[in-house]
A and B are shown apart, each in its own frame.
Chain A
Amino acid sequence: MSFHGLRGPHVRLIAKTHTKYSIRGGTGLVFALMALLTGLIIASIFVDPINQAKQQADAPDDIAEQIIQQVGRPAIKWATDASDTQLDYWMDANPALITAFMLLFMMFLPFLVALGASNQLSGDIGNRGIRYQLLRTERANLFLGRMVGTYLFGLIIYLVLFLIVAIFFLVQLDFYSAGDTITWLTRGFLAVAVYSLPYVALCAWISCAIDSAFGSLALTQLAIGFWPLLVNIGARQWEPFENAGYLMPWVYRSWLFDPSIGKTLAGIAVMLAFTALFTFLGLRHFEKRDL
């Protein structure tokens, strides 16, 4: 199938406007606030106990390292099902506290993305406002423009969050070297940027299919959370069902932090493939549906 009337300048203009005015809509504001608060609360879960232990103990660095290895390592192994090689890379070769922050943030990320991306089109479809825009541009431009705009707005918010965390680690905690902190947080930001892509596309697809903004939000949250939960419960009854998890991007998220370059690139390729699939399905539905 061909996407009739797809034009680069139209997509760019819609994306730019959507990014600029995202915060004026309630969804953008709530997403920005929730993303920043969630990220900082996650950071404080790991940083505050270490910070307190450092202040109280005689050998601050040793006690902090002890807590990380005795509590952090098993917790991360449980949460991510990582191999020993991955754990060594995350906890020994790189700043362990930043690893813990990024891995936990990645667990919440799909739900945060849905909060900001679930109303790309549904509200305007519901109130028929989209008909006015369709007088000036084609459906494909509107779909892709808003999807790109939503993604860029999300990236700006994640960048602000990572900058705050970086400044806090460098100035206040002073636990890792500046080079290690910046390099590892940059890798984390890039992983977040890649990992959020398929979920923005999934939200775009659901959003163009549902006429209510709240309905779209509820369905996207359900779609994102239901599959991993179902796989988890199913795998307890019948172990091979665990492989069904590979049908969604969720399982591949730790690949983006893998020590092997090949697996990291494979993780990126998988995320891009999911994005292409969801975008195609969304565009196809939006081109055909009654507005």
Chain B
Amino acid sequence: MADKRPGGLTALAVLNFIFGGLGLIASLGLLALLKAADSASNGGLDAALQDEGQISAGMIYFVILLSVLSAVLLITSGVGYLQQKKFLGRTLGNGYAVLSILSSVLGIVLLKQGVGIGTIIGLIYPVLTLALLNMTFKDDLVR
């Protein structure tokens, strides 16, 4: 089954590159914005955040770090899907999905975001990835 790459796996790899690239840009943009806000307020960002919503800048940096890690995993696992590799594709793809679900949960708990439709939209791709890698494309990622 691993001889010929299914069209769905190629599509999944392309989607990984798109979402991974966008995720990296968004995370680095947010990081730059936070740094700019911190220097504009002479290092008072943390206190301002604590006053506003009882969250610290450290928590936000942690969530950004998770997002960057998710984006890197998306891109590397995308390469793994194209080459039909077991570790690079299936293991890292599963790693991305679990990390992404975890960061959504952390976002709700740490940053006190409510569970909105936006949260569900953010969970669709990781859940779909988990289902596809462990059922539909299980026998295609074995090299």
Contact = CB atoms under 8 A, between A and B. Distances in A.
Partners in one complex: yes
Nearest to A44: B117
- DSSP class of A's interface residues: helix, strand, loop or mixed? helix
A87 B73 CA distance: 49
A199 to B, nearest CB: 22
Interface of B: 6-8, 10-12, 15, 115-118, 120-121, 124-125, 128, 132, 136-137
Contacts of A48: 116-118
Nearest to B125: A33
B124 A33 contact: yes
Contacts of A29: 8, 11-12, 15, 132
8 contacts: A24-B7, A25-B6, A26-B7, A29-B8, A29-B12, A32-B128, A37-B121, A51-B116
Contacts of B117: 40-41, 43-44, 47-48, 168
Contacts of B11: 26, 29-30
Contacts of B115: 172
A172 B117 CA distance: 9
B121 A24 contact: no
Contact of B124 (A25, A27, A28, A40): A40
Interface residues of A, number: 22
Contacts of B118: 44, 48
Interface of A: 23-30, 32-33, 36-37, 40-41, 43-44, 47-48, 51, 164, 168, 172
Contacts of A164: 120
- DSSP class of B's interface residues: helix, strand, loop or mixed? helix
A92 B15 CA distance: 41
B100 to A, nearest CB: 15
A36 B116 contact: no
Nearest to B135: A23
Contacts of B137: 24
Contact of B7 (A25, A41, A47): A25
A51 B128 CA distance: 27
A110 B6 CA distance: 26
Closest 6 CB pairs of A and B: A26-B11, A26-B7, A44-B117, A29-B8, A25-B7, A24-B6
Contacts of A25: 6-8
B8 A168 contact: no
Contacts of B8: 23-26, 28-29
Nearest to B131: A23
A32 B136 CA distance: 14
A32 B8 CA distance: 11
Nearest to A32: B128
Given A24-B136, A29-B8, A168-B117, 14 more contacts: A23-B132, A24-B137, A25-B6, A26-B8, A29-B12, A30-B11, A32-B128, A40-B120, A40-B121, A44-B117, A48-B116, A48-B117, A164-B120, A172-B116
Contacts of B7: 24-27
A41 B136 contact: no
Nearest to A160: B124
A18 to B, nearest CB: 14
Contacts of B116: 44, 47-48, 51, 172
Contacts of A27: 7
Contacts of A43: 117
A221 B11 CA distance: 20
